[in-house]
Structure 1
Amino acid sequence: MTTPAPPWQRAARSRPAKPPLTRPAKPPLSRQAVVEAAMTVLTAEGLPAMSMRRVAQELRTGPASLYAHVSNRYELEDLVYDRIVGEVPLPEPDPARWQEQLTQLMRDTLAAFARYPGAARLTLARVPFTPNSLVYLEVMLALLRAGRLSDRTASFGIDLLSLYVSATGIEDTIHLEQGPTEEAVGERFARMRGYLQSLPADRFPNVVSMAGPLLAGGGDDRFEFGLDILVRGLAATVTQAR
């Protein structure tokens, strides 16, 4: 004969079992998922934070698991660079408008990298041969050849334009990282202008007389000025060659 269980045990046994606690299923890890996580980190925290470890945290996994899909941080940066380049609108080259199209392409390139804090640094010392970057290169070459530039001028011109856009983007990044308000920037420029104007005019006659123009104009004005000079300079090589 079995011994009856105490009533409190019988009550406990009669209660329905609680379902096991489960965590939300992690999305399957893939190369695309790694890039998406890297873009999330880049957008929220900037390029310096976009390490393999930080991206792995975003994916709720360990850094080692990322290496099955991305070989190292350099390759990850290439993939992120390719993703950003893919956001740049590309024109259909028109020989009658190639200068206008090239100018707009450079503006759009700067704007694409400006959307991601620090991403402009990805453009330096890097020759990526990723899908979107190759399409971008093809369009740039097509625009320059539509302007009848020589192969040498077109090739060197791409490097020159890319460096100009990269330098502008990096300088913009530095200004953003410093975080000054527009009012603070205005005050700083006023102090610099006052200092230049206070220099001995007999030793620095040009600096003193040009103190105003040296510090005039915003970043957009200066970028447009330089871009116009570069594009028209490239176009002038065709006239000179005749």
Structure 2
Amino acid sequence: MQPLPDPPWRSGQRKPARRPLSRDLIVDTALRLLEKEGLDALSMRRVAQALDTGPASLYAHVRNRDELLELMFDRVLGTLEIPEPDPERWREQLKALCLAQIQAMLAYPGLAQAVINAMIPIGPNAMRQGEGMLAVLRAGGLSERDAAFAFDALGLYCKAYAAEASIWRSPDLDHAAMAERARQMTDYMNSLPPNAFPNMLAVGPLFSAETATDRLHFALTTFIAGLARG
């Protein structure tokens, strides 16, 4: 019987070193998993498996899944630029901030749902984003009260939009079933007396995936225009 060859680290080659476990490494790994597998698959056990360790070792760095999601959201917000408030361009700056946050959340399916369901973001990057948006609102001449209420409303809208858009973009979504449901709804509406809901029938085709971006821009532009007039 021929002897087995020595492992590579016994023949002068070193075994690849494992990165020391840290909060940053856990968050990075969790974000990659979220991007590939979605929110439902994300668990402390799954993250530990990806790191080739046991779940218990994660708890020395992250308290639980909710804290991990908060850290993940804060990490994503940290990738966004915060503009220097410009009173002449505050409307454009405010809209750009909102769009950037939405795009950041959409890059990680389910992250927006997690934020809505489980947390009030207070990490350092969330605080910087909040401070930056409030500064832009104040540069537009809004009072502290109006700026605070606008900040709250825009934050809720952006998260809700990203959450809904993530659902529609999910690979698990049964598009055939959704198309059949839409057909049934249209047939039902068309079966009603012609003058019962004329406006609903007229605008129905405008609520589609093709108009999603237009509806988003309309909502933000209209809201911000109202702030400017107020």
Q: TM-score range by the shorter chain?
A: 0.7 to 0.9
Q: 1:208 to 1:92 in 2, by over 3 A?
A: same
More divergent stretch after superposition (200-209 vs 76-85): 200-209
**Unmatched 5+ residue regions in structure 2?**
10-14
Structure 1 residues 216 and 19, CA gap change in structure 2 (3 angstroms): closer
- Structure 1 residue 179: deviation in Å? 5.1
Report the counterpart of residue 100 of structure 1 in structure 2. 92
Query: For residues 68-105 of structure 1, what are the alpha-carbon distances to aligned partners after superposition, in whole Å with 9 as ceiling and x for unaligned?
Result: 11111111111100111112232221000001110111
The normalised TM-score by structure 2 is: 0.85
Partner of residue 221, structure 2: 228
Is the Cα contact below 8 Å between 2:105 and 2:111 reproduced in 1? yes
Pairwise CA RMSD:
2.8
**What does residue range 41-190 of structure 1 map to in structure 2 within 5 Å?**
41-124=33-116, 126-177=119-170, 178=173, 180=175
Hey, what does 1:19 align to over in structure 2?
A: 6
Number of residue equivalences: 222
Residue 212 of structure 2: aligned partner = 219
**CA distance 1:192–1:89, change in 2 (3 Å):** farther
Unaligned runs of 5+ in 1: 1-7, 238-242
Aligned equivalents of 1:82 and 1:114: distance in 2? 14
Shift of 1:214: 5.8
Partner of 2:12: none
Q: 1:191 to 1:220 in 2, by over 3 A?
A: farther
What percentage of aligned pairs have identical amino acids?
Answer: 44
Q: For residue 34 of structure 1, report the CA deviation from its aligned partner.
A: 0.8
Aligned equivalents of 1:60, 1:118: Cα separation in 2 = 24
TM-score where L is the length of structure 1: 0.81
Describe the superposition over 1:47-70 as per-residue Cα deviations: whole angstroms up to 9, x where unpaired: 222211000001000000001111
